[in-house]
């Protein structure tokens, strides 16, 4: 069967009707990995045996009338910083090269309970600390990066090697690879999903979330992953909405905000044009489109670094003395930078978050969602450190994280979905952000836009 | 009239019956300041004119049948880090020597709305950063320190120059001077009282609260000060109980915890004996007394410093360049230490707080309150840096903050009240701590103990 023609939603419907079996789907997924992944290098560990066993069990369960729901029998890719019981979990680092956890991350456990099948572990930029994710390549152009840090999930889902996957997002690591690979990814509200059993990068900025081939699929996956977890003190004990059930509830009453500052400074002209067109499409679906601005936002990238680096170095403190030579040079450089940052500056950066959150709370008094380009550019070429936007050569990491970090610092939910392609055939992403714990509204808007357009494609690999 | 024979409770009853006038009380308080404060140096600014005006207004209001409640017409001392509209607020520092705020701290505003009269501003260790509070002296022995940082309020309330006052507590600054001066002080739960308009020392450790001449008085004052404040993002939107109304609700069902570790390492033998006696008294009033212990507690003092100092330096960052010479040497040394501390260590100290909070939450599954010595010693002599406990010479600041900081790091409420005197006639304090936002239980226990004993005395000055 041809998985590229499917989403979780369409497959699960067919499985429910017993027109397709989980065994078929998993075999098709494994075939596709065999066929493609030598080039994309999205997976670091395949769970062939376990996946086949799980597929047979799912087939039996469904045949016996016990269809657990939309994720039952669906093959997923799990980012290699998520603990998976009995399966290597390396964080794509030599430091953890032999680590096999004896339990699942809470979100992995929840996905399994929903019937999902773990096809394998996907490559991450080492310890989720970067946006390049070597050696994974972008399936839209193998000379280009998939973004990161969840680049493996991005490439695997875009090519339908699996139907969805997990990412984590500290400074854009779900949304960057989702945008660059032309798929849907959501960073939920801080506290909505558990981080228990996920190798931390920065406790106060990390988020877990899904990456999928449609908005509906992301709604299914987030609903399965979300919820209070006594093992993660950051999770919030709020009911988890039935996100997919609300997708059709209509957008006519919503007010949309478009920032006048920061998010398009700079932006590639083709990306800017695609996002403007997307806003025009949305304009026809909502009550109003209004300008919003954020007085304190310019400090966001610096604050992000001063929060993130000391937290990351604090975690890696126990590994660095023995393993300094096992880290890649770029991650080691960040960790060393984390040791140079003073407590005073970390404190100021943490306090800045309240100011920025205040800016967004003020904006959300007048609008229900905020629309921006996900990234200022499409996928950069591998091996390049700088990319030209207009007249300026800009550092890639700074550029790709720029529109991301305001939502890590504030913890507000943000989704990205495809909104076009540039003249090189590379996908462009649209970011829609919402109020705290109001993922429902951004899912609804994203679904309405997705239904009115049709930008989800599969790269011709 | 003789204020030393009174509390807020007894005075307010007499005022309600119009047997005593607020004008009389304020005059008596001002006379007492005149008589004593040349020796104790508790006040840094007196508000004679404003206090007299307020007293006359209170007299009129009460005469007209508008008695606002227990604080109406009661003279209070306000620690000099609390903003007071139109009144010098120096933090007892040259840096702020001319600062006159144009608004009241939220808690001051609330006390005024409850009818309280601001008699003056009390001395604090500079910017609340220390336990000595020069030049204030301890009214039980003028050669000794009153403790700090709310040493001015401690000495003023102990001598009945005012009937109650405000303190603030970052590492014991309410409880230390309350214990050393033989009065009642409560550090409420973090988030229970607003800090808006109080010069910060360390945002994540600071607490505001009352210091009084009886448990009932502290209940009256905390009820007036407490509650959600939109201007303080740390306050929690929970209803404020009528604390005084619950004082007699009985203690027979309560389970008391007595720590086996940390809180009596070390303790002066006379202090230890007085606290043991107090526990014996309490044993007769409760359901059970059980041992509790805290596996992670030994790191508390170090964690406190690594949280506090970078936060303090971060706040003073804007004053230090211009005002370095205006700080006292000990505070300047702490602020410079704050600049040396790395972000990594601050992060680790902040994360340690979750571990410690876990220890206490575990203990509070089995007990309703935890009883310890407030301090390991009674008031040290002024000018001494070390004090002998058993065979060891111990640094005074470390010693006085030791039993305090676990409750600043965890944010749990803790009250201190007198439980005896040592052979030098110096007061000994008993600390009772409770669950988050359960000040009611510790008020109830403290009131039962206070009623069964009678350790509240006024120093013979």
Q: How far is CA B13 from the centre of its chain?
A: 25
For residue A352, list chain B residues with Cβ-Cβ distance below 8 A.
none
Whether B375 and B403 have beta carbons less than 8 Å apart is answered as yes
What mean pLDDT, rounded, does chain B reach? 97
Asked if the Cβ–Cβ distance from B351 to A233 is below 8 Å, we say no
Give the pLDDT mean for B264-290: 97
- Note the pLDDT of residue B136: 98
Q: How far is the alpha carbon of A348 from chain B, nearest alpha carbon, in Å? A: 7
Residue A230 contacts B, CB cutoff 8 Å: no
- Partners of A79 in the beta sheet? A122
Asked if the Cβ–Cβ distance from B343 to A348 is below 8 Å, we say no
Residue B185 contacts A, CB cutoff 8 Å: no
Whether B206 and B189 have beta carbons less than 8 Å apart is answered as no
B307 contacts: CB under 8 Å, gap ≥ 6:
B202, B204, B205, B346, B349, B350, B353, B409
- Note the pLDDT of residue B400: 98
CA distance linking residue B105 with residue A257, whole number of Å: 36
The per-residue pLDDT string of chain A (461 residues; one tens digit each, 9 = 90 and over) reads: 999 999 999 999 999 999 999 999 999 999 999 999 999 999 999 999 999 999 999 999 999 999 999 999 999 999 999 999 999 999 999 999 999 999 999 999 999 999 999 999 999 999 999 999 999 999 999 999 999 999 999 999 999 999 999 999 999 999 999 999 999 999 999 999 999 999 999 999 999 999 999 999 999 999 999 999 999 989 999 999 999 999 999 999 999 999 999 999 999 999 999 999 999 999 999 999 999 999 999 999 999 999 999 999 999 999 999 999 999 999 999 999 999 999 999 999 999 999 999 999 999 999 999 999 999 999 999 999 999 998 889 999 999 999 999 999 999 999 999 999 999 999 999 999 999 999 999 999 999 999 999 999 999 98
Q: What are φ and ψ of residue B350, in 5° steps? A: -65, -40
For residue A347, list chain B residues with Cβ-Cβ distance below 8 A.
310-311, 314, 346
State the sign of the Cα–Cα–Cα–Cα dihedral B66, B70, B76, B82. negative
Whether B43 and B123 have beta carbons less than 8 Å apart is answered as yes
- At B144, list the tokens: 């000794």
Q: Is the pLDDT of residue B53 over 90?
A: yes
For residue A351, list chain B residues with Cβ-Cβ distance below 8 A.
203, 314
- At B224, list the tokens: 């007036």
- Calculate the dihedral angle through the C-alpha atoms of B53, B54, B57, B63, rounding to the nearest 10 degrees: -120
- At A119, list the tokens: 């096809």
ipTM: 0.85
CA distance linking residue A417 with residue A444, whole number of Å: 12
Q: What are φ and ψ of residue A306, in 5° steps? A: -75, -20
Per-residue pLDDT band at B116 (split at 50, 70, 90): very high
- At B209, list the tokens: 């609260």
Q: What share of chain B is helix, strand, coil (3-state, %, to 5)?
A: 40, 15, 40
Whether A381 and A144 have beta carbons less than 8 Å apart is answered as yes
State the sign of the Cα–Cα–Cα–Cα dihedral B178, B226, B282, B411. negative
**What burial class does residue A122 get, using C-beta atoms within 10 Å of its C-beta: 0-12 exposed, 13-18 middle, 19+ buried?**
buried
- How many H helices and E strands in chain B? 15, 13
- Partners of B76 in the beta sheet? B118, B164
- Note the pLDDT of residue B236: 95
Q: Buried b vs exposed e over A280-293: b needs ≥16 C-beta within 10 Å?
A: eebeebbeebeebe
Q: What angle (nearest 5°) sits at the alpha carbon of residue B57, between those of residues B75 and B155?
A: 10
Q: Buried b vs exposed e over B320-335: b needs ≥16 C-beta within 10 Å?
A: beeeeeebbeebbebb
Q: Is A79 a catalytic residue?
A: yes
Q: How far is the alpha carbon of B147 from chain A, nearest alpha carbon, in Å? A: 28
Asked if the Cβ–Cβ distance from A343 to B317 is below 8 Å, we say no
Out of A346, A347, A354, the one facing B233 most closely (by C-beta) is A354
CA distance linking residue B432 with residue B373, whole number of Å: 9
Tens-place pLDDT, residues B324-374: 999 999 999 999 999 999 999 999 999 999 999 999 999 999 999 999 999
Maximum Cα–Cα distance across chain B: 63
DSSP code, position A381 = B
Q: What angle (nearest 5°) sits at the alpha carbon of residue A51, between those of residues A50 and A52?
A: 90
CA distance linking residue A158 with residue A154, whole number of Å: 6
Q: Name which of B342, B345, B351, B354 to mutate to probe chain A: the one with the most chain A Cβ atoms within 10 A of its Cβ.
A: B342
Among A280, A247, A270, smallest CA distance to A451 is for A247
Q: How far is CA A111 from the centre of its chain?
A: 16
Alpha helix (H) ranges present in A106-187?
106-113, 151-158, 175-181
Residue B197 contacts A, CB cutoff 8 Å: no
Per-residue pLDDT band at B461 (split at 50, 70, 90): confident
DSSP code, position A14 = H
For residue B343, list chain A residues with Cβ-Cβ distance below 8 A.
306, 309-310, 313-314, 338, 341-343, 345-346
Residue A343 contacts B, CB cutoff 8 Å: yes
CA distance linking residue B453 with residue A43, whole number of Å: 72
Which residue spans within A114-254 are E strands per DSSP? 117-122, 164-168, 184-187, 208-212
- At B237, list the tokens: 């939107």
Residue A346 contacts B, CB cutoff 8 Å: yes
Phi-psi region of A83 (alpha: psi -120 to 50; beta: other; left: phi over 0): beta
- Note the pLDDT of residue A369: 98
Q: What angle (nearest 5°) sits at the alpha carbon of residue B32, between those of residues B30 and B35?
A: 115
- At B282, list the tokens: 């309490």
The fourth-level CATH superfamily of domain B3-452 is Amidase signature (AS) domain (3.90.1300.10)
Distances B268 to B9, B271, B379, B394, B422 between C-alpha atoms, Å: 34, 5, 12, 11, 10
Whether A390 and A266 have beta carbons less than 8 Å apart is answered as yes
Rg, C-alpha atoms of chain B: 20
CA distance linking residue A259 with residue A281, whole number of Å: 17
Out of A203, A310, A351, the one facing B343 most closely (by C-beta) is A310
> Which residue is closest to B232 within chain A, CA to CA?
A354
Asked if the Cβ–Cβ distance from B310 to A203 is below 8 Å, we say no
CA distance linking residue B278 with residue B295, whole number of Å: 25
Count CA atoms within 13 Å of residue A387 on its CB side: 20
Asked if the Cβ–Cβ distance from A309 to B339 is below 8 Å, we say no
Q: Is the pLDDT of residue B20 over 90?
A: yes
Out of A203, A233, A343, the one facing B346 most closely (by C-beta) is A343
Residue A342 contacts B, CB cutoff 8 Å: yes
Residue A341 contacts B, CB cutoff 8 Å: yes
CA distance linking residue B291 with residue A317, whole number of Å: 35
**What burial class does residue A421 get, using C-beta atoms within 10 Å of its C-beta: 0-12 exposed, 13-18 middle, 19+ buried?**
middle
Asked if the Cβ–Cβ distance from B346 to A233 is below 8 Å, we say no
> Which residue is closest to A313 within chain B, CA to CA?
B344
Q: So which residues of B are the catalytic ones?
A: 79, 149, 173
Which is the catalytic residue, given A9, A21, A93, A149? A149
- Note the pLDDT of residue B451: 97
- Note the pLDDT of residue B391: 86
Q: Is the pTM of this model over 0.95?
A: no
> Which residue is closest to B357 within chain A, CA to CA?
A233
Whether B74 and B8 have beta carbons less than 8 Å apart is answered as yes
CA distance linking residue A443 with residue A448, whole number of Å: 9
Residue B291 contacts A, CB cutoff 8 Å: no
Q: How many CB atoms lie within 10 A of CB B98?
A: 7
- At B422, list the tokens: 């040592």
Place of tokens 């007499």: B14
Count CA atoms within 13 Å of residue B386 on its CB side: 7
Q: Is the pLDDT of residue B155 over 90?
A: yes
Q: Name which of B347, B355, B356, B411 to mutate to probe chain A: the one with the most chain A Cβ atoms within 10 A of its Cβ.
A: B347
Q: How far is the alpha carbon of B314 from chain A, nearest alpha carbon, in Å? A: 5
Residue B338 contacts A, CB cutoff 8 Å: yes
Phi-psi region of B115 (alpha: psi -120 to 50; beta: other; left: phi over 0): left
Q: How many CB atoms lie within 10 A of CB B250?
A: 12
Angle subtended by helix axes A215-225 and A8-16, to nearest 10 = 80
> Which residue is closest to B233 within chain A, CA to CA?
A354
Q: How far is the alpha carbon of A389 from chain B, nearest alpha carbon, in Å? A: 34
Which is the catalytic residue, given A41, A79, A187, A195? A79
Out of B313, B314, B347, the one facing A314 most closely (by C-beta) is B347
Three-state DSSP at B208 gives strand
**What burial class does residue B17 get, using C-beta atoms within 10 Å of its C-beta: 0-12 exposed, 13-18 middle, 19+ buried?**
exposed
Q: Is the pLDDT of residue B390 over 90?
A: no
Q: How far is the alpha carbon of B310 from chain A, nearest alpha carbon, in Å? A: 5
- Note the pLDDT of residue B153: 98
Residue B306 contacts A, CB cutoff 8 Å: yes
Rg, C-alpha atoms of chain A: 20
- Note the pLDDT of residue A390: 83
Residue A203 contacts B, CB cutoff 8 Å: yes
Residue A339 contacts B, CB cutoff 8 Å: yes
């Amino acid at each position: 069967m041809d998985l590229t023609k499917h989403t979780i939603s369409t497959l699960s419907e067919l499985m429910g009707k017993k027109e397709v079996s989980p065994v078929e789907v998993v075999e098709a997924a494994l075939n596709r990995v065999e066929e493609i992944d030598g080039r994309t290098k999205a997976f670091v560990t395949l769970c062939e045996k376990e996946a086949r066993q799980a597929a047979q069990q799912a087939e039996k369960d469904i045949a016996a009338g016990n269809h657990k729901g939309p994720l039952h029998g669906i093959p997923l890719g799990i980012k290699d910083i998520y603990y998976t019981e009995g399966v290597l979990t390396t964080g794509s680092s030599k430091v953890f090269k032999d680590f096999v956890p004896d339990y699942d991350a809470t979100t992995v456990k929840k996905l399994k309970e929903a019937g999902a099948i773990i096809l394998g572990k996907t490559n991450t930029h080492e310890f989720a600390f970067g946006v390049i994710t070597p050696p994974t390549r972008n399936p839209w152009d193998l000379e280009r990066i998939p973004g990161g840090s969840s680049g493996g999930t991005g490439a695997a889902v875009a090519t339908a090697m699996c139907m969805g996957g997990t990412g984590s997002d500290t400074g854009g690591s779900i949304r960057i690879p989702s945008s660059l690979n032309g798929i849907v990814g959501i960073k939920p509200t801080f506290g909505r999903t558990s981080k228990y059993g996920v190798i931390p990068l920065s406790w106060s900025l990390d988020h877990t979330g899904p990456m999928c081939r449609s908005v509906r699929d992301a709604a299914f996956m987030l609903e399965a992953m979300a919820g209070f977890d006594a093992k993660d003190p950051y999770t919030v004990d709020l009911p988890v909405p039935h996100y997919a059930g609300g997708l059709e509830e209509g957008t006519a009453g919503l007010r949309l905000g478009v920032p006048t500052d920061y998010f398009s400074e700079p932006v590639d002209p083709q990306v800017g044009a695609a996002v403007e067109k997307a806003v025009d499409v949305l304009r026809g679906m909502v009550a109003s489109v209004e300008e919003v601005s954020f007085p304190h936002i310019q400090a966001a990238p610096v604050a992000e670094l001063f929060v993130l680096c000391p937290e990351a170095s604090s975690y890696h403190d126990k590994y660095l003395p023995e393993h300094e030579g096992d880290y890649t040079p770029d991650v080691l450089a960040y960790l060393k930078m984390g040791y140079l940052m003073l407590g005073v500056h970390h404190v100021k950066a943490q306090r800045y978050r309240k100011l920025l959150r205040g800016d967004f709370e003020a904006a959300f008094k007048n609008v229900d969602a905020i629309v921006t380009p996900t990234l200022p550019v499409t996928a950069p070429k591998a091996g390049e450190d700088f990319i030209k936007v207009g007249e300026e050569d800009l550092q890639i990491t700074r550029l790709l994280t720029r529109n991301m970090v305001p939502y890590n610092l504030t913890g507000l939910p943000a989704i990205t979905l495809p909104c076009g392609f540039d003249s090189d055939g590379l996908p462009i992403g649209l970011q829609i952000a919402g109020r705290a714990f109001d993922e429902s509204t951004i899912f609804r808007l994203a679904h309405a836009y997705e239904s009115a357009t049709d930008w989800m494609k599969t790269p011709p690999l």
